[in-house]
Amino acid sequence: MIILPAIDLYKGKVVRLTKGNFDDRVVYGDDPYSVAKSFKDAGCTHIHIVDLEGAQMGYPRHLDILSKIGRLGLFTEYGGGLRSRAAITDAIRAGAWRVMVGSILFNREDMAKELFQTFGFSLMPALDVSGNKVVISGWYQSTGMTPQACLAKLYSAGYRTFLVTSVESDGMLQGPDIEIYKPLVGDTTNIVAAGGVTTLDDIMKLKEIGVSGAVVGKAIYEKSLDLGEALQAAKD
């Protein structure tokens, strides 16, 4: 299993939110590049970057930081405000190896398939789950679909790797919602789990059910989880 430390960006700073609440924001650093380098120095090969300001405004706001971090050579995934083909293209050109998209997939019935035909596996659908329904547009709008139904629809469009975030668990440091992920894991799907990963035990539980990646954010910054130990546990 791959550990992806998270860097959430807002106004050029590294921050973390609780349950996506912009009013409940804690700043953890003024230099995202240095934070990313510290993750690489700890042994990370992947990094997860979320442009929170972009998600709020509907277009990416931190492509310059993405480009700078991209020079570290990490597998960099980036999301937030990628709601047009042009924005997706700009993020890839700026250095994203993989981009996370949510709202744009649901613009119309055939949009997910069209985007996959254009961008292929450079795209990773981001399924944000609240109340067992996938929500979009910064978690304000429900698609009315369960994560299982949504994944099945996107799988038929060609996608194989999915970011699944438990909204209720995000930033709470109370452990991930394992039950969300169990029915989604399969031999031909890769599930990247996000939301609430706090301890080595959380990582082992996710690994045990077959999750291919885990995003870890607040637990690293609050030092409730040692990144080096997490990387070792995921690898063993």
Q: Which residue do the tokens 């139904």 mark?
A: 149
Task: Assign domain 2-235 to its CATH architecture.
Answer: Alpha-Beta Barrel (3.20)
Question: Catalytic site residue 8?
Answer: yes
**pLDDT given at position 56:** 87
The residues of the chain scoring below 70 in pLDDT are 19, 138-140, 171-172
Nearest to 73 by CA among 34, 122, 40: 40
For residue 225, the Cα-to-chain-centroid distance in whole angstroms is: 18
Q: Which of 41, 64, 128, 202 is catalytic?
A: 128
pTM above 0.85, yes or no: yes
Q: How many CB atoms lie under 10 A from the CB of residue 28?
A: 17
And the tokens for 166? Answer: 């438990």
Give pLDDT, residue 193: 97
Decide if 90 is catalytic.
no
Domain ranges of the chain: 2-235
Among the listed residues 8, 51, 170, 202, the single catalytic one is 8
HEC-encoded secondary structure of 99-120: EEECHHHHCCCCHHHHHHHHHH
